[in-house]
Amino acid sequence: MKHKEMVYVTPMPVRIWHWLNAFGIVTLCVTGLQIRFPDHINIFGAYKAAIRLHNTAGVVVSISYTLWLGYYLFVAKSLIKQYVPTVEDITSGIFRQAFFYFLTYFLGKPNPHHSTPDHKFNPMQKATYLMIMLVLLPLVIFSGALLMYVAPLRELLLLLGGIKTLVGTHFLIACCFTAFLFVHIYLATLGHTPLSHFKPMWNGWEEEMVEDSKPENTVGS
């Protein structure tokens, strides 16, 4: 038999960061589409309006990213524990989790990972979030900042391969974010109910389905 247990896994600063960041990244992707393909896509009217909105969303995402990093490094002090996969995660955990997502989930088997406040993420989440949060997001912010200030940062821009290389890199990372968004949202619906992973991003509490302990282990039995 299983019973429900409530675990507080997502503190308020992380929730505020997450939704501000999600809104900012979606805005960046949509405005970026118009900026990249102005002849085919026109959502925000004038081209300049799309650029203004894109730059504003970029600033919002950069500020919220700094707050996220500061929170995990200096307040929660759990960036490494939460986000860096262990050797066991890499050698077997990722495959166990992938097996669940690709096969055993559809056979009604339970998720091999159980969230606790100290180990919120399964090995696949850790690897993906590490790449997104500590590699791609800083890179897209850095390349975006260079593109926003082309004239004053000209020397640095040339050193990094010129504007074409930078625009190409920025666009490629944006494509990765778009792909991540679809997979991220789909996988987030694979909890024991479709919304069970969304609720903790709203109120902080995750509902865990836990096996009842055997009677001989139960206090007072």
Enumerate residues 6+ apart whose C-beta is below 8 A from 142: none
Q: Which of residues 136-155 bind ligand HEM (CB under 6 A)?
A: 137
Q: Which of residues 185-204 bind ligand HEM (CB under 6 A)?
A: 185, 188, 197-198, 201
Does 60 contact ligand HEM by CB under 6 A? Answer: no
User: Structure tokens of 67?
Assistant: 């707050």
Q: How many Å apart are CA 122 and CA 119, to the nearest integer?
A: 8
Q: How many Å apart are CA 123 and CA 89, to the nearest integer?
A: 5
Site for ligand HEM (CB under 6 A): how many residues? 20
Asked whether 208 and 196 are in contact (CB, 8 A), the reply is: no
Does 10 contact ligand HEM by CB under 6 A? Answer: yes
Identity of the residue, 203 or 213, whose beta carbon is nearer to ligand HEM in the bound complex:
203
Identity of the residue, 163 or 197, whose beta carbon is nearer to ligand HEM in the bound complex:
197
Give all strands (DSSP E) within the chain, no chain letters: 2-8, 205-211
What minimum distance in Å lies between the beta carbon of 18 and ligand HEM?
A: 5
Q: If you ran DSSP here, which 8-state letter would residue 86 be given? A: P
What minimum distance in Å lies between the beta carbon of 151 and ligand HEM?
A: 29
Does 129 contact ligand HEM by CB under 6 A? Answer: yes
CA nearest neighbour of 67 among 8, 16, 134, 128:
16
- Give contact residues for ligand HEM (rule: CB under 6 A): 10, 14, 18, 21-22, 25-26, 120, 125, 129, 132-133, 137, 181, 184-185, 188, 197-198, 201
